[in-house]
Structure 1
Amino acid sequence: MSSTTKTSIFITGATGYISGSVLERLLAHPKAADFEITSLVRSPEKAKVIREKFGVNTIVGAHAEHDKLTQLAESADVVISVTDSDDISAIKAIMQGMKSRFDKTGIKPTLIHTSGTGFLTDDARGMYASDKVYHDSRPEEIESLPDTAFHRNVDLAIIDADNQGYLRALIVSPPLIFGMASGPLFEDGLSNRHSIQLPLLIKTSLARGQAGMVGEGKSIWNHVHVNDVADFYLVLLDRVLENPDKVPHGREGFYILEVGEHSWYDLGKGVAEAFSDLGLSKSDEPTTFTAEEINKYIGNAMIAHLALGSNARGRGEQARALGWQPKYTTADLFASIKPEVQALA
């Protein structure tokens, strides 16, 4: 790209947990003046504030409006997809716009898509710890996963588009993300401060009056702080802008973000201790969620088993090779539990 030409960036949401965190960093980037940032925002009120206060070109609309997605993607050098990782129709609309851009310009745009380590999950239901660990630097390990695995239908469609040569596909795969997001977008109530899995565990435990877990809590997941996740998107963007040919993409373009591992029992124990400290429960031990409780408070047994009871173990070697230096640790995960409980209680 010419140094005199601005880089057009389309980010699919500005009001989400990850998307808001990434947008915060785009706006604070040393070269932010060289970016033209556009975002699709559902709320007209929030779109107006983000446009007027933060200088982002906001388009009011939903991701079900595929014509808008296609048009916005066609106008972008870089698309950062950070909304529903399983919305195959939306991602196809985005890729249609990117193909049109390539056909018209001959220049390959970049798609940075947010997936997740849900594709590594098994059906352990908290009853055992798996010793299977996947490495993002070994594409054959990722390719050994079944096509039916969580997120895989979207990921495979994106890799196929990369193989066809009309876009450069980079797939970011965070595991459990912890920490409450911060920054002006969050302080103004424009973006969501909370993640999914840990809040789900906390809310379900609050509803039953005692910290819980799926099965015996033996299964293992990775974790990463939201700030480290958002920082990586900027590392990835910078590398693409410097020299896109040196950034692994397509089948080699998976980036697992992780700083450590936890068992679901240990996480449940952390919630139980926070409950006890805050006077929310007399017990500092988690107990097993019953099927009735999962039905009542989560509503979907499969989601509960995958999100709170499976194994999903990976190693993020490629992000570090590009220069990602996460600042948070497993100790920070457990330190984050009590503030999260206080916020949700």
Structure 2
Amino acid sequence: MNFPSPRQLLRCTSPRFYGKGEPTPSEEASPSPRMCSLPVTLPCPNSSLFDVWGARHRFTPSSSLITMSASESKLKIFFTGATGYIGGSVLQRLLQHPKASTFQITTLVRSPQKAKTLNAEFGVEAVVGSYAELDKLAELSEQADVVFSCVRVFPLRCDGRIQAGLTARHSQWDQADADDLDAVQAFIRGLKARHEKTGKRPILIHTSGTGVLTDHANGKYASDKIYHDSRLEEMESLPDTQLHRNVDLTIINADKSGWLYSYIVTPSTIYGIARGPLFDSGLANRHSAQIPGLIKASLARGRAGVVGEGKPIWNDVHIEDLAEFYAILFDRVLADPEGVPHGRTGIYLLENGEHSWYDISKAIGQAMVELGLSSAAEPTSFTDEEMAKVFGSVENGYQQVGQNSRGRGEQARALGWKPKHTTADMLASIKPEVEAILEKQRSAK
């Protein structure tokens, strides 16, 4: 039997690919306020390729979504982070979009082989390069109507140590980082050149993180301070020295100048093993950073570890819910960029529940006991020496998994975002994450 290629499965919208009993677009009810009514179902006999994609994934774009005739130019998108956890998940949604045939997507990747596969199998124009090549970033941005900055937050090296100097150049690792101010300035420089050339106001959708909300609890206490993204005075009370803040403010100031529309997506702790063709093909990273980092550190010591007493509280969001929001935001922005909060008011916290760091460490400990990897589920505190070894420094360990970061994503919900996964799902996801990391470690030996 000949199976459809990943590109065909991602892009196909004809009735023959709808599941049994699934309505075709013409049979669907009227569009909901969230976006459009086109269901995207990807049933395939090869369940290893689409194990979770047989479920319905809807794009519900506004009925006023900008449309293009065949004679008009395609919407040009420059996308960064395509081979990453967040970026791969978001890119899959773009490739499944009902109007994907009207998009010209260009991405930047370091691997020539991955570039070749993205082009041949997924129809993405992949340019080989890195975040260290600022002129290339500016040039690619200048060619785009929309820039998606979806590279990782909390950049970790493979041995678990956080890269030093979050706002410095990372050319020695040549890896993308959401806090790379020089790279973001290159995006802005290119987008401004496009505005000056075309007279149009381009769009920047940037990925930040709720590390911007953190305090200095250092594992010792839970805070009752909660930030609401719909309350401008609360968001603007954040000190300029907060993690991610210098990059966020640079983007906001560009929007304030009137030639750019900016939207800053700010996820909390992201969890869940990413699925779908980009991941099953080996192109993109399946795992998040914070929880897997804590798992790896715990496995290395033979017992679940926690920073301090693990009392601080942080929000969480599932990777599929996160990707769904990007799809919603994208369509709403295309329909009415001025009408969607942008710039100063365009910060979108993504969360659907919250956890203490102790809760996560305890779940890791329980998984380790069940898998015969530890004799006790109760976590013990990392020593300073362990934190320095695992996270690069004690300070970095506190920043990643030892602070409070509490917020409410009211603006995302106002756009129609309805996250499905809860903190209970996050805790239930930890054992499968432990098993996946173990399997990867064993296969690497």
Q: Identify the TM-score tier after normalising by the shorter chain.
A: over 0.9
Residue identity in the other structure for 1:245: E
Encode CA deviations 1:252-302: one digit per residue, 9 max, x unaligned: 000000000000111111101001111110001111111111112222222
Query: What pairs with 1:211-250 in structure 2 (closer than 5 Å)?
Result: 211-250=304-343
User: Is 1:66 matched with 2:131?
Assistant: no
Q: Would the aligned equivalents of 2:388 and 2:397 in 1 still touch at CA under 8 Å?
A: no
One-letter identity of the residue aligned with 1:85: A
Q: Any unmatched runs of 5+ in structure 1?
A: none
Distance 1:31 1:326 in 2: 23
Show the 5 A alignment for 1:150-299.
150-299=243-392
Give the structure 1 partner of residue 112 of structure 2: 44
Contact kept, 8 Å, 1:218 with 1:263, in 2: the verdict is yes
What SS class does the counterpart of residue 256 from structure 1 fall into?
A: strand
Distance in 2 separating the partners of 1:285 and 1:2: 56
Counterpart of 2:108 in 1: which secondary structure?
Answer: strand
Q: Measure the CA separation in 2 of the matches of 1:245 and 1:252.
A: 11
Alpha-carbon distance in structure 2 between the residues aligned to 1:255 and 1:13: 19
Match of 1:3 among 62, 68, 76: 68
Once the 2 structures are TM-superposed, how far is the Cα of residue 2 of structure 1 from its aligned partner?
6.0
Residue aligned with 2:224, SS: coil
For residues 79 and 310 of structure 2, what CA distance do their matches in structure 1 show? 36
Structure 1: 4+ residue segments shifted above 4 A: none
Task: Work out whether residues 207 and 297 of structure 1, in 8 Å CA contact, stay in contact via their aligned partners in 2.
Answer: no
The alignment covers a number of residue pairs equal to 345
TM-score, normalised to structure 1, is: 0.98
In the alignment, which residue of structure 2 is the partner of 1:82?
A: 150
> AA paired with 2:421?
Y
Higher relative contact order (CA 8 A, sep 6+): 1
Counterpart-to-counterpart distance in 1, 2:230 and 2:390: 38
Q: Structure 1: how far apart are the matches of 2:240 and 2:288?
A: 26
Which residue of structure 2 aligns with residue 91 of structure 1?
Answer: 184
Q: 2 CA distance for matches of 1:283 and 1:136? A: 40
Q: Which amino acid aligns with 1:246?
A: G
Counterpart in the other structure of 1:344 = 437
One-letter amino acid of the counterpart of residue 42, structure 1: R
Take 1:78 and 1:332, find their aligned partners in 2: how far apart are those partners?
33
Q: Structure 2: state its 5+ residue gaps.
A: 1-65, 152-176, 439-445
Is the 1:276–1:283 Cα contact (8 Å) retained in structure 2?
yes
**Contact preservation (8 Å) 2:82, 2:150:** no
Q: In structure 1, what is the Cα distance between the partners aligned to 2:380 and 2:431?
A: 18
Q: Does the aligned pair in 1 maintain the 2:85–2:284 contact within 8 Å?
A: yes
Task: Give the RMSD, CA atoms, in angstroms.
Answer: 0.9
Match of 1:34 among 98, 102, 106: 102
1:12 matched to 2:105: no
1:63, distance to aligned residue in structure 2 (A): 1.0
Q: Which amino acid aligns with 1:278?
A: L
| 98-107 or 310-319: bigger deviation | 98-107
**C-alpha displacement of 1:244:** 1.1
TM-score by length of 2: 0.77
CA shift for structure 1 position 43? 0.3
Q: How far apart in 1 are the matches of 2:349 and 2:417?
A: 11
Separation (CA, whole Å) in 2 of partners of 1:302 and 1:182: 33
TM alignment of 1:131-146, pairs within 5 A: 131-146=224-239
Specify which structure has the higher proportion of helix: 1
Give a deviation string over 1:106-134, Cα, whole Å, max 9, x none: 11011000000001111101100000000
